[in-house]
């Protein structure tokens, strides 16, 4: 596993197909690590390492995914170095929710401990690096879940640069299973500037805003994803964004298909609509971005799904 250089491994993983290779391998490795972490606590290996090492390892444990299961496994077992450290972390671990709001005065961060009504700031998390963790970051909330209007009034607004810096300082305290929910464009800019390429998150929910995808695709030609939504979501601005797509007749029983080929890369943007069986949403639309991968061993999804367009 470790007999080859990191650069080589990274270049190989870059070629993994997301669905067929990367995701299954990731799940398999996670299961292997979970099994290894649980078997690590056998009597013969419990106290064979120094306290500082044990504590630094346990600090990285995800609260629900690792710390709690390991703590339960060790419950009732003989006292050991690992058990003592894990019990300390289990008893003192505090998991927070971070709320983000951008106002005309600047960016505000508010923090709440899971199940608590008390509002804190990011400094509360930063000052407790050993035990404080973040389970989710969101800009989508109401007064029942997030801070109240009165609580927001007491939060100091930050300029963009300082807001990004503040979030970066606590990025290492995000749990591996943490969630990101962001539905507002201004908040997204702050959150993504702070966390992109820095942390690993369990789940990410981002709202699509305007022509962001098209701009990225035109610049790089590297998008590969499928977005589905109701026809009601296609506003006049979105229709204008699709106006430069070439329309093709009925394909595979779809109402219509509009496509656009990238200027320099072998990459395509495909937009189509179809009828659903749901009475409240009779028509759905789909926006796809496909790179042609005929040169790769796993085949080409674009050719598989749209052979007519692929051969144009």
DSSP string, 76-89: TSPP-HHHHHHHHH
* Mean pLDDT (the chain, rounded): 79
Which residue ranges make up each domain of the chain?
Answer: 3-91, 93-191, 208-311
What integer is the mean pLDDT of 180-201?
84
How far, in Å, CA of 137 to CA of 116, rounded?
A: 16
Q: Please state the φ and ψ torsions of residue 283, each to the nearest 5 degrees.
A: -125, 130
β-strands 94-103, 106-113: how paired?
A: antiparallel
CB contact set of 32 (below 8 Å; sequence gap of 6+):
none
Tokens for 290?
């496909």
Residue 132 near residue 159 (C-beta atoms within 8 A): no
Sheet harboring 256-261: ordered strands across?
A: 225-230, 283-291, 267-275, 256-261, 246-248
Q: What is the pLDDT of residues 135-190, one digit of tens each?
A: 999 988 877 778 888 888 889 999 999 999 999 999 999 998 899 988 888 888 88
Q: Per the confidence metrics, is the pTM higher than 0.85?
A: no
* Alpha carbons 242 and 254: distance in angstroms, whole number: 17
Nearest to 177 by CA among 202, 197, 199, 198: 202
8 A C-beta contact, residue 95 and residue 114? yes
Residue in the block written with tokens 């450290």: 85
Spatial neighbors of 54 by CB under 8 A, at least 6 apart, are 81, 82, 85
For residue 45, give the nearest of 80, 79, 71 by alpha carbon: 80
pLDDT digits (tens, 9 = 90+) for 42-82: 545 556 678 888 888 889 898 988 899 988 888 877 778 88
């Amino acid at each position: 596993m470790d007999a080859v250089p990191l650069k080589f491994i990274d270049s190989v993983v870059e070629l993994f197909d997301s669905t067929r290779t990367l995701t299954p391998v990731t799940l398999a490795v996670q299961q292997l690590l979970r099994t290894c972490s649980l078997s690590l606590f056998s009597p013969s290996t419990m106290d064979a390492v120094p306290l500082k090492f044990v504590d630094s390892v346990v600090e990285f444990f995800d609260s629900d995914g690792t710390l709690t299961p390991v703590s339960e496994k060790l419950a009732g077992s003989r006292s050991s170095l690992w058990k003592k450290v894990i019990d300390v972390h289990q008893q003192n671990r505090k998991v927070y929710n971070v709320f983000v709001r951008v106002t005309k005065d600047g960016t505000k961060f508010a923090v709440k401990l899971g199940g608590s009504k008390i509002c804190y700031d990011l400094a509360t998390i930063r000052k407790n690096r050993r035990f404080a963790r973040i389970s989710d970051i969101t800009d989508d909330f109401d007064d029942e879940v997030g801070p109240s209007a009165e609580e927001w009034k007491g939060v100091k607004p930050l300029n963009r640069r300082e807001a990004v810096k503040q979030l970066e300082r606590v990025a290492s305290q995000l749990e591996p299973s943490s969630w990101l929910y962001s539905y507002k464009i201004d908040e997204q800019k702050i959150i993504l500037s702070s966390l992109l390429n820095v942390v690993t998150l369990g789940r990410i929910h981002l709202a699509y805003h305007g022509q962001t995808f098209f701009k990225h695709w035109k610049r790089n030609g590297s998008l590969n994803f499928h977005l589905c939504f109701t026809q009601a979501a296609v506003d006049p601005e979105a229709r204008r964004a699709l106006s430069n797509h070439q329309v093709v007749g009925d394909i595979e029983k779809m109402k219509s298909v509009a496509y656009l080929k990238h200027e320099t890369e072998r990459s395509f943007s495909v937009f189509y609509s179809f009828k659903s069986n749901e009475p409240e949403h009779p028509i759905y639309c789909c926006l796809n971005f496909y790179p042609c991968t005929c040169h790769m061993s796993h085949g080409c999804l674009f050719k598989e799904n749209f052979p007519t367009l692929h051969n144009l």
